[in-house]
Amino acid sequence: MRPFAHFKTITEHRNLVCRYCFRLGLRWQGITHDLSKYSPAEFWRGAKYYLGYRSPNDEERIETGVSMAWLHHKGRNKHHFEYWIDYCLTPEGKVYFGGNKMPMKYVAEMFCDRVAASRIYLKDKYTDGSPLAFYEQSKSRILIHPETGEEIETMLRVLKEEGEEAAFAYVRSRLAGGPRREFADPDTGGNTE
């Protein structure tokens, strides 16, 4: 059990996300970000599986086969695409299981969360490309709405290719209804749309 180290890590992460959300004008989301991590259902599991260099939820999954802390967390925090997974309908009315489109304010908070998590866990190994690299490792296996996936990937790509200031300016623009950027697809040479 490492409750003090876990408390320090989640608080540093939450404070960084709060600062990022404030930069985007998402004050309430910044203030309330990840408060469920301090609940007994999440906190004590996090302290038990704390490693300091990655999420304790991963360690809990390895040891028990499931992360009860994560199941609790994702059901209470709308900035996680997993919160939005549900039964969906095709235009023809057929039901399938998948990701629903996230409102832009939660995609923006997800951007802040991913950048902050990368900074906290990678420490001095962090680069502006780290959050995109992490996303790219898993994107083919996740249930995220295609438009939401394009949004977060574009935000992370702007961060990697143009830096933090440009990325936050871009996310603020998207929150205000500005156009989505297009990048050349590295595999095909075409754009990502």
Q: Is the pLDDT score of 183 beyond 90? A: no
Q: Is 193 exposed, middle or buried (0-12, 13-18, 19+ CB in 10 A)?
A: exposed
Q: Check if the beta carbon of residue 100 is closer than 8 Å to that of residue 144.
A: no
Q: Check if the beta carbon of residue 97 is closer than 8 Å to that of residue 84.
A: no
Report the predicted TM-score, pTM, of the whole model to 2 decimal places: 0.91
Task: Look at the chain and count its residues.
Answer: 193
Q: What per-residue confidence (pLDDT) applies to 121?
A: 92
Question: Cα–Cα distance between 16 and 114 in angstroms, integer?
Answer: 11
User: What percentage of the chain reaches a pLDDT higher than 90?
Assistant: 89
Q: What single string gives the DSSP state of each residue in 104-153? A: HHHHHHHHHHHHHHHHHHHGGG--TTHHHHHHHHHGGGS---HHHHHHHH
pLDDT per position as a tens digit, 29-64: 999 999 999 999 999 999 999 998 889 999 999 999
Q: What per-residue confidence (pLDDT) applies to 38?
A: 98
Burial 125-147 (b: 16+ CB within 10 A, else e): eeebebbbebbeeeeeeeebbee
Domain boundaries, the chain: 3-175
Q: What per-residue confidence (pLDDT) applies to 187?
A: 56
Q: What per-residue confidence (pLDDT) applies to 28?
A: 98
